[in-house]
């Protein structure tokens, strides 16, 4: 039975080696290629999302700025109208004061009342001017 031992050794030598399929290098290269594609796709997608967010924020900011501008212009118009009204009051008080000074006798104290009223109107006018300056 010696031929069996030798025949087993010879048979193993004669057997063709089995092919392993794709080599390890090809597998690693394919794996690295898949990873590189994944990283590239992630980078491109994140840039796309960033652009979308920037556009959304910009449109939101533009709409808020338009709203603020309209509100500002409305308040400025109201204050301008109030200023014009107060200016007309000041002018009429000045005319009345001038008339009263011209017609006042030494016994009447009407000029002091007019000066007080004029002072109050002037304070209101100054207050409105400050508000208008703040709006500018």
Task: Give pLDDT, residue 3.
Answer: 53
Angle, CA 69 vertex, CA 66 and CA 75 arms, to 5°: 145
Q: Where do the H-state alpha helices sit in 1-136?
A: 2-14, 24-103, 110-135
Task: Give pLDDT, residue 10.
Answer: 59
Task: Give pLDDT, residue 1.
Answer: 46
Tens-level pLDDT at each residue, the chain (136 residues): 455 655 555 555 555 555 566 789 999 999 999 999 999 999 999 999 999 999 999 999 999 999 999 999 999 999 999 999 988 888 888 888 777 776 665 555 555 677 777 888 888 888 888 888 777 6
**DSSP designation for 136:** -
Give the distance, in angstroms, between the CA of residue 63 and the centroid of all CA atoms in the same chain. Answer: 10
Interatomic CA distance for residues 125 and 135, integer angstroms: 15
């Amino acid at each position: 039975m010696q031929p069996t031992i030798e025949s087993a050794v010879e048979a193993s030598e004669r057997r063709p080696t089995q092919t392993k399929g794709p080599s390890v290098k090809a597998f690693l290269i394919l794996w690295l290629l898949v990873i590189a594609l994944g990283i590239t796709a992630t980078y491109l997608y994140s840039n796309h999302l960033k652009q979308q967010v920037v556009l959304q924020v910009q449109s939101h900011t533009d709409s808020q700025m338009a709203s603020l501008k309209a509100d500002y212009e409305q308040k400025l118009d109201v204050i301008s109208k109030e200023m014009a009204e107060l200016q007309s009051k000041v002018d009429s008080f000045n005319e009345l004061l001038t008339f009263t000074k011209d017609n006042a006798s030494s016994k009447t104290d009407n000029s002091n009342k007019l000066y007080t009223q004029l002072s109050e109107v002037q304070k209101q006018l100054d207050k409105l001017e400050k508000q208008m300056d703040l709006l500018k």
